[in-house]
Amino acid sequence: MTAESFLLRSARIHGGDPADILIDAGRIVEVGQGLSHAGAAEIDADGLIALPGLVDLHVHFREPGYEASETILTGSRAAAAGGFTTVFTMPNTSPVADTAGVVEQELALGETAGYAHVQPIGAVTVGQKGERLAELGAMADSRAKVRVFSDDGFCVWDPLIMRRALEYVKAFGGVIAQHAQDPRLTEGAQMNEGTVSAELGLAGWPAVAEESIIARDVLLAEHVGSRLHVCHLSTAGSVDIIRWAKARGVNVTAEVTPHHLLLTEELVRGYNPRYKVNPPLRRNEDVQAVREGLADGTIDIVATDHAPHPGESKNCAWQDASHGMVGLESALRVVHLAMVDTGLLTWDDVARAMSTTPARIGGVADAGAPITAGAPASLTLYDPSPARTFTTADLHGRSSTSPYLDRVLPWQVRWTFFRGAATVQDGAVVEEVAR
């Protein structure tokens, strides 16, 4: 379909009463009842939930350097299939995204792909080695206008480096996104530390390895008056620390992944590497705590930590397998199952946690805009029922390392619009985006 005008009939905005949405020339022109527009392609959206285009603050698209796992094009297609219109790509590429040149290259590749706005995240330290600060100012001043910096995949373990980074980004309103993992406490770790790891004979990954870094960093952020974002928070203790820090007025935000909202360490008993992830799947008590933290606003957003790997990195013994799982195509469905169906979130809350707030944290002005007249036409139409089995046919990137294969999940994203162009049509990713 190449029409520049779309008339969405009877969409339920944030799950509310049906309304028509008129899209023309890349923007939402009107929202109301009984709309008409000559030449517009009409879409029957009856029963579909309309959300602002989803925003993911944490993905790994692997390009440049690891294209066997994913590329910006294939990752963008996976993003569109999941209803995402803006994604923030982590810098653990080869070369590392620690210079203006690399982040501008990633931005350009996303623009060429055309399925979503691909916003690079810059590395905090040169080569993500934790030894000296990367070119933060140059990346911020580049065409990519980087505002989020992270060594994700590695912790910024040196407190002096972390302090200097927090101080530096204050000048341009940036934020440091920390991968909270004490490297000494997790040497050789294979799964969550506890009864199950002891029974399976796998080296444990203690919750305190995450919690101690978060505690240190919120105090550093308070000390220098800067912004801190905590990546993939996964334990009950981490929720308590963030809650305490916010009560003190620390400028900290936090994310939780869909898999930490649903899956537990019990899945590791089968030694299936699809469940090997960093941070590891935790106890049921931790799952309940992060759900409550997201529901009460202690945890600000949901981010997928979409981490594709080639088959040989997962089709092997547990100890040899890579950490990570793909999550873009399944994210909204898992949040629906874990948070909406349980009554912990409304669809208004989902729009906040998966669109509006991550866009604000990441500093992308035209992302996460509400579905109102005049706003950019980046939005998602989600079909909430019926539930069905999630299969490899639902995956559109280069990796099939999803933990949800053969699991029954709510239905699917039916339509995704990015700046007025349909990137998903009736559940199918378009082969080429209209420009």
Q: What are phi and psi of 339, to 5 degrees?
A: -115, -40
Q: What are phi and psi of 370, to 5 degrees?
A: -65, 160
Assess contact for 434 and 1: CB atoms under 8 A. Answer: yes
**DSSP-derived 3-state class of residue 117:** strand
d(CA 423, CA 281): 32
> Which residue type does 89 have?
T
d(CA 360, CA 368): 8
Burial of 296 (0-12, 13-18, 19+ CB in 10 A): exposed
Number of Cβ within a 10 Å radius of residue 158: 14
Beta strands in 69-140 (DSSP E): 84-89, 117-120
Tell me the β-bridge partners of 6.
Answer: 23, 41
Q: Active site includes 305?
A: yes
Sign of CA dihedral 85, 90, 96, 99: positive
Catalytic member of 296, 305, 383, 426: 305
Assess contact for 59 and 91: CB atoms under 8 A. Answer: no
Q: What are phi and psi of 308, to 5 degrees?
A: -75, 150
Taking CA atoms, 88 is separated from 33, 258, 294, 318, in Å, by 35, 16, 20, 29
Pairing of strands 252-256, 301-302: parallel
How far separated are the first and last CA of the chain, in Å rounded? 11
**DSSP-derived 3-state class of residue 351:** helix
Beta-carbon contacts of 372 under 8 Å, excluding residues fewer than 6 positions away, are 28, 31
d(CA 89, CA 74): 13
Taking CA atoms, 396 is separated from 15, 80, 308, in Å, by 27, 9, 11
Number of Cβ within a 10 Å radius of residue 184: 7
Task: Report the run of H or E that residue 214 belongs to, with start and end.
Answer: helix 207-224
User: Hey, what are 175's tokens?
Assistant: 């934020």
- Catalytically active residues are 305
